[in-house]
Chain A
Amino acid sequence: MTPILDISHIDMVFPTPKGPFTALKNVDLKISKGEFVSLIGHSGCGKSTVLNIVAGLYQATTGGVVLRGKEVTEPGPERAVVFQNHSLLPWLTAYQNVELAVKQVFGKTKTKTETKEWIEHNLKLVHMDHAMHKRPDEISGGMKQRVGIARALAMQPDILLMDEPFGALDALTRAHMQDSLMEIQNELNNTVIMITHDVDEAVLLSDRIVMMTNGPAATIGEILEVNLERPRERLALAEDTDYTHLRSEVLRFLYEKQRKVEDISSVKKSKAKKRNDKNQHHAA
């Protein structure tokens, strides 16, 4: 099967006052249609940079991204982004926020009634049809993120890019959103790249987990295939041996192979060492 998206040997070098800083080195990844891929790694490892390059918001220094045989040079609605902090326009209602996207993408091809139906359909998909005429400041954080997802889905993207979509939510809301996302994924079978910090989230949602090494010059460390059967059930999986195994694989990568050494350690070495030992202990 030919991949829909080819992230081909990208390097990312940022110019800084102290000289060039290599954030990414030789990141290479192929994603097939309908695949759900998570990017996981410690903060500062360049996960978001990868996503932003795929989105077209950044340009890779060398290498490039090819989507459906076409090189990505600028942002576009076929690579819809769900931003970490929802990024809804605060002066528009949920409906109007989705409408802005739909009108921009389908303004010429959809009639007025089709447009309205499509907006409402997408809001229904994320269970926001009851509050679609409310403005972002009138709804909760989880609901805002739902609208953000509806806006992205409404663009009918070739690939959906999610930048820590549930990172700012509390644990219960997050679980709820993950279930919703699986339900939507079951229905639409989108191609998705999602950045996450959350090991459980990665295992629960993904077909593949791409684990990144620490920066600078971060790259893909390991790729883990998640062959758990779908639909997946949070409670059932909690006891599942395959699930626990996959989970510990990711944890081992993050906390053993790519243990993050904090900068403060240089100032107070002994203290930091203690803390690190403790972290390791927790992880194991």
Chain B
Amino acid sequence: MSNAASITEGRDIKLTATSILNAVFERGVKVALAPVLGILAFLMIWSLAAQNIHTSLGQFPGPTDVWQQFGSLYNEHTTERTKATAFYERQEKRNAARVAKDPTYVPKIRAYTGKETYFDQIVTSLITVMSGFILAALIAIPLGIAVGLNSALRSGFNPIIQIFKPVSPLAWLPLVTMVVSAVYVSNDPLIAKSFLNSMITVTLCCLWPMLINTSVGVASLDKDLVNVSRVLRLPALKHVQKIVLPASVPMIFTGMRLSLGVAWMVLIAAEMLSQNPGLGKFVWDEFQNGSSSSLARIMAAVITIGFIGFLLDRGMLALQRFASWDKDSAAA
């Protein structure tokens, strides 16, 4: 009797062990194996397709060509850097020699004027997108709160938002360019005009999703929470700080994530169109250059852009998880 019982028990344990193993295996397949397989399949289809596409600039680059170009882009970067250090060393020596000869001589320091490398362009693009994004947030979030709190202001702003929201920011680009060159006149500009152009374009496209989401978040504030605030007689500023702002944080973050995604896409296009420094310009330059390696280099840029866009989104999500009380709304 007891024997039989222990046998059944033993089988039960075995069963659970295998089912756990199965579950672990299934999870492993989903988490690790499936994405790897997906990428491998993509690479295979890509390389097969690439072999059959012939352009005026030669065969369409396959994964290996692109990989090589990543290598050479990196090499170009390091060579450029060594050249720059060498230049500064030479300049320093020359200046030191002249000062030694003539103590009244004020040494001139000239910046290295070598070509921007691929990695410089990435950094430029990132700085531009972040500055435009932050500027937009500084405008849109306070404005969104004001619009959300005041229904008269909301009806006033609504037509403007509705009309400008669907406009591609690239349509603004020529206007921005002309206005910046007309208004921003300085002999020794602290910030390059081209940078301002792309930044303002990014700002213009970031503005709307953030403004709309913030104002909707604020306007849909639970009426009971407003009543709590009224019973406590919270002063207006404290009401915004303690009730309105925290309540709309999830929506604000949603707007910010949307904005950043759009901003990154728009920036690349803006840089291509306006010849502003950055990844977009790199793509355009390579296209104009038309060498045998151009297509592979553009493809490398495409992959980089995608990867950075992905990282920006993940970064925003991590920030949202850190800052927002509503963890549900921060799900991927």
Q: Give the B-binding residues of A (Cβ under 8 A).
A: 55-57, 74-77, 79-81, 83, 85, 87, 89-91, 100-101, 104-105, 135, 155
Contact = CB atoms under 8 A, between A and B. Distances in A.
Contact of B232 (A77, A83, A85): A77
B238 to A, nearest CB: 8
B227 A57 contact: yes
Contacts of B326: 90-91
Contacts of A81: 227-228, 231
A79 B325 contact: no
A interface SS class? loop
B228 A83 contact: yes
5 contacts: A57-B227, A77-B232, A79-B231, A83-B224, A87-B222
Contacts of B243: 89
Counting from the closest, the 9 A-B pairs by CB-CB distance are: A91-B325, A87-B224, A75-B230, A75-B231, A104-B232, A91-B246, A87-B228, A83-B224, A81-B231
B318 interface: no
B90 interface: no
B242 interface: yes
B34 interface: no
Nearest to B230: A75
Given A89-B225, A89-B246, A55 B231 contact: yes
Contacts of B227: 55, 57, 75, 81, 83, 87
B interface SS class? helix
Interface residues of B, number: 17
B248 to A, nearest CB: 11
B323 to A, nearest CB: 11
A83 B243 CA distance: 16
A272 to B, nearest CB: 33
Contact of B233 (A57, A75, A90): A75
A151 B231 CA distance: 11
A92 to B, nearest CB: 8
B302 interface: no
A101 B246 contact: no
A146 B249 CA distance: 26
Contacts of B233: 74-77, 104
Contacts of A100: 232, 242
B226 to A, nearest CB: 10
Given A89-B246, A90-B325, A100-B242, A77 B224 contact: no
Contacts of B242: 89, 100
Contacts of A80: 231
Given A90-B326, A91-B249, 6 more contacts: A75-B230, A77-B233, A89-B247, A90-B325, A91-B326, A105-B232
Contacts of B224: 83, 85, 87
